[in-house]
Amino acid sequence: MLYAFAGDSITTAGNAMKPTIRLLMCCVLALFMTALSAAPFEGTYSANGKNAKLAFLVAKKGDPFSGNPTTILVFSEKDASKDPRPDFHAQMGDLGDALVIRLMKDGDKWNVIGSEFAHSALKHSGASGTGIVSVSDVTVANGEISGHLTTHANADLFDEPLAIDLRFHVKQP
């Protein structure tokens, strides 16, 4: 049997390792909690009362609109991080439930200039709409863009109710 000295008492090597194991487990748990809190978005996107199964967010540089820079946000059920055209594939339904938002920076203000809605509960999944989603609290700092996307109380797409309340922060393209 192995012995280790801990202070004035003699313990077995296994008992001496317990504090080290506990410390290691605490560190792993802390890293896990940090990763969870660093999710790129939080909130909901629902259609006809059914929540979308969103799990991923990517931001891509869009084509300029009226001479202003644009950013395309793609929220999706499936990972689109390696997709060169995630906005197109999201609209076609290739990424499962998805929401595509086109943001335009006009001076100091950001506006939603387009949106596509892919959702398993929509009859017209993949349809585009304008004036449905608004953005607020947009900040660009430390290589990230963040903001808050919402719909008004009675928002709909072809008479199908939509509700969006998403806060996001993602690496700027």
Q: Residue 37 has which token pair?
A: 């809190």
Give the model's pLDDT for residue 120: 94
Supply 142's token pair.
Answer: 């430390």
The residue whose two tokens read 């008479």 is: 159
Q: What is the pLDDT of residues 116-157, one digit of tens each?
A: 999 999 998 889 988 999 999 999 999 999 999 999 989 999
The residue-averaged pLDDT of 51-69 equals 95
Instruction: For CA atoms 61, 70, 90, 55, give the dihedral sign.
Output: positive
Alpha-carbon gap, residue 111 to 147, rounded angstroms: 11
Could you tell me if 64 and 72 are in contact, meaning their C-beta atoms sit under 8 angstroms apart?
A: no
Burial zone of 34 (CB within 10 Å; 0-12 exposed, 13-18 middle, 19+ buried): exposed
Tens-place pLDDT, residues 8-55: 455 555 565 666 666 556 555 555 544 444 579 999 999 999 999 999
Q: What are the beta bridge partners of residue 43?
A: 166
